[in-house]
Amino acid sequence: MEVLRSKLFSQYQQIVFGMSTRNGGVSAPPYDLNLSISVGDDPDNVRKNRDRFFGELNIDLSRIAFPLQVHSSNVQYVEKPGRYLRTDGLTTDVKELFIVITVADCLPVFLFDPKHNVIAGVHAGWKGSSQHITGEMVRFMTDRWNTNPSDIIAYLGPSAGNCCYEVGEEVANLFQADFVRYHHNGKYLLDIPGVNRAQLITAGVRNRNIEHKNECTICNSGRYHSYRRDGKKSGRMMGVMGMRVEF
Ligand SMILES: [Zn+2]
């Protein structure tokens, strides 16, 4: 089982954090370690995969909160486990509540305010990124808890990178020129992590408090699921974050 950890989050004993890869599951290829029940994989295998991944992190599956992601810029506060409709970002100050973000190319963003003990998870594809969902989450935390953005610790997970992530002109036009470059055949390469990092910096997050797992899901086929690469038969990875009561 290959689970990605965060150097910055690991400095805080109360934080539990992990990001799955495609390695270490029981499903047949191309699913491997797939954690989604809605992509055509055998549900029994998905259950086993989930038990492995969350078991590795000592997380009780009954304590998970996850957004039913719709590529929006909607973010919300949660205090209970469960599934949350029409949202792409969750934040909580409740201990032993674990926020899950599901991805295969989209960027998973996790935030921690150590002063107020608040965590957040964001699902940022091109749509959510174009609507500033990551900046929106920082603003939400500031409004609700008086979070100072300069205290925030951020983790950007693996995602489609600017080496591979082709978009058409209409999508490219939604972003500042710094984050798109012309590729070929009327297609552009988009830098989704760059867009979200810029949203954090603009919001007041310090560059040194941002960790980026700078690996592209599309070209690292041995390690990551990618919807762009594998299409409908692509598995899904999950990132999860929570705070322990005792540690
Ligand atoms: Zn790539």
pLDDT (tens digit, 9 = 90+) per residue, 110-168? 999 999 999 999 999 999 999 999 999 999 999 999 999 999 999 999 999 999 999 99
Output the DSSP codes for 99-164: EEEEESSSEEEEEEETTTTEEEEEEE-HHHHHTTHHHHHHHHHHHHH---GGG-EEEE--B--TTT
| Helix ranges restricted to H, the chain | 43-56, 126-130, 133-145, 169-172, 192-203, 227-230
Q: Say if 53 falls within a structural domain.
A: yes
CB within 8 Å of 143: residues ≥ 6 apart: none
CA 172 / ligand 1 centre spacing (Å): 17
CB atoms within 10 A of CB 245: 7
CA 180 / ligand 1 centre spacing (Å): 14
Mean pLDDT, rounded, for 16-32: 96
Looking at the structure of the chain, the number of domains it has is 1
- Return d(Cα 36, Cα 27) in angstroms, integer: 11
CA 150 / ligand 1 centre spacing (Å): 31
Q: Say if 172 falls within a structural domain.
A: no
CA 216 / ligand 1 centre spacing (Å): 4
The pLDDT score that the predictor gives to residue 58 is 97
CA 219 / ligand 1 centre spacing (Å): 4
CA 164 / ligand 1 centre spacing (Å): 4
Q: Say if 60 falls within a structural domain.
A: yes
Question: Would you say residue 247 has pLDDT above 80?
Answer: no
CA 115 / ligand 1 centre spacing (Å): 36
CA 45 / ligand 1 centre spacing (Å): 28
Mean pLDDT, rounded, for 191-212: 98
The pLDDT score that the predictor gives to residue 246 is 80
CA 55 / ligand 1 centre spacing (Å): 30
Q: Say if 24 falls within a structural domain.
A: yes
CB-CB contact of 100 with 44 (8 Å): no
CA 159 / ligand 1 centre spacing (Å): 9
CA 35 / ligand 1 centre spacing (Å): 22
CA 152 / ligand 1 centre spacing (Å): 28
Q: Is the peptide bond before 149 cis (omega within 30 degrees of 0)?
A: no
Residue 184, Cβ density class (10 Å: 0-12 exposed, 13-18 middle, ≥19 buried): exposed
The pLDDT score that the predictor gives to residue 54 is 98
Q: Say if 171 falls within a structural domain.
A: no
CA 212 / ligand 1 centre spacing (Å): 15
CB-CB contact of 17 with 9 (8 Å): yes
What is the pLDDT confidence band of residue 33, given thresholds at 50, 70 and 90?
very high
Question: Would you say residue 228 has pLDDT above 90?
Answer: yes
Mean pLDDT value across the chain: 97
- Return d(Cα 47, Cα 42) in angstroms, integer: 9
114 φψ region: left (φ > 0), alpha (ψ -120 to 50), beta (else): alpha
CA 20 / ligand 1 centre spacing (Å): 18
Domain of 114, CATH number, reads 3.60.140.10
Look up residue 29 and give its amino acid.
P
Q: Say if 16 falls within a structural domain.
A: yes
Whole domain around residue 98: which residue ranges?
A: 3-160+193-243
pLDDT (tens digit, 9 = 90+) per residue, 48-104? 999 999 999 999 999 999 999 899 999 999 999 999 999 999 999 999 999 999 999
CA 238 / ligand 1 centre spacing (Å): 19
Q: Say if 135 falls within a structural domain.
A: yes
Q: Say if 179 falls within a structural domain.
A: no
At 182, give phi and psi (nearest 5°).
Answer: -65, 135
Beta-bridge partners for 26: none
CA 42 / ligand 1 centre spacing (Å): 29
- Read off the tokens for 84: 């949350």
CA 221 / ligand 1 centre spacing (Å): 9
The pLDDT score that the predictor gives to residue 120 is 98
Global pTM value: 0.97
